[in-house]
Amino acid sequence: MANILITGGTGLIGNHLIPRLLDANHSIKLLSRNAGSKKIGNHLIKTYQWNIKNQEIDAAAFKDVDIIIHLAGKNINTRWTKKAKRNIIESRTASSKLLLDYLQANAHSVKKIISASAIGYYGDTATKAVLEHEKPGNDFLSITCQKWEASVKAFESIDIEVTTLRIGVVLSNKGGAYKAMKTAFSFGLGSAVASGNQFMSWVHIKDVGSAFIEAVENTDMKGTFNLTAPGACTNQIFSQSLAQSLHLPFFLPNVPEVFLKLILGERANLLLTSTRTSCDKILNIGFPFEFDNLKQALIDLRNK
């Protein structure tokens, strides 16, 4: 059993992960803007206050903590103004700095930090399946991920082990890309976007949760890992497969790239960038994907 402190625990991943950690007999507490407790699933979780902007944190949050799971960060699905982009980066890097500064200055029992990141780190990879050691891209999402990961890697300077999971497009009924696409398809508005040839490296939410639990329980899981299922596919194939899984027609022409850029601006890159990643590294430590093909994952989500 591990004593775990979680940041960003009320987001899509945290809401899925926390009940599973509790079921596995781990002890959980959260950092939040307000002290008290939060209900996640059927569980009330003790919360401790932190203020990232003011770099303030309740020292009691760290009592007996073995592992930090760091999920904090503002949602990227917003208008990318200069201010919003700055906030997206700083919500990740400043939260890491607050944790690190406290641990540097105080006695503690933390041995490991497990941090989320994203495959946006790589930028546009075209059709190449990239490995964890390869160079990052240079667009906004890549720069965000680089700064995010660097802020967590700094924990190694105080002898805390770091595990970073570069997460792909998360498929979940509770939010994210799948839920948005399912809604559009259900209204008869489903189609691929742009050429449809851009790769989507996806992962089922259950496998995201399982990977974080693996990182908690497996002492060999350290370093950086791509967390994407083996079955990466193009946007065209994903869109067709989604329509088939929902028993819906798929006949509309692809949404033009120029239209997406007009409506979404720079954020259109979320849909237009081709990111194909290799999951060989996480497979090689023995991590078993429950959903390793797209059809299987989509049927599971449909039936929930």
pLDDT in tens, 169-183: 999 999 999 998 999
Residue 140: closest CA among 81, 64, 63: 81
For 242-251, write each residue's pLDDT tens digit: 999 999 988 8
If pLDDT is split at 50, 70 and 90, which confidence band does 42 have?
confident
- At 41, the pLDDT band (50, 70, 90 cuts) reads confident
Kind and range of the H or E element at 145?
A: helix 140-153
The model carries a pTM of: 0.96
Is the confidence at residue 240, as pLDDT, over 90? Answer: yes
Whether 304 has a pLDDT exceeding 80, the answer reads: no
- Cα three-residue angle 198-199-200, rounded to 5 degrees: 125
Token pair for residue 156?
Answer: 């190694």
| CATH fold for domain 3-170+203-229 | Rossmann fold (3.40.50)
pLDDT for the residue 155: 98
pLDDT-derived band at 38, boundaries 50, 70, 90 = confident
Which of 154, 66, 157 shows the shortest CA–CA distance to 112? 66
Mean pLDDT score of the chain:
95
User: pLDDT by residue (tens digit) across 53-65?
Assistant: 999 999 999 999 9
When pLDDT is averaged across residues 45-59 and rounded to a whole number, the result is 96
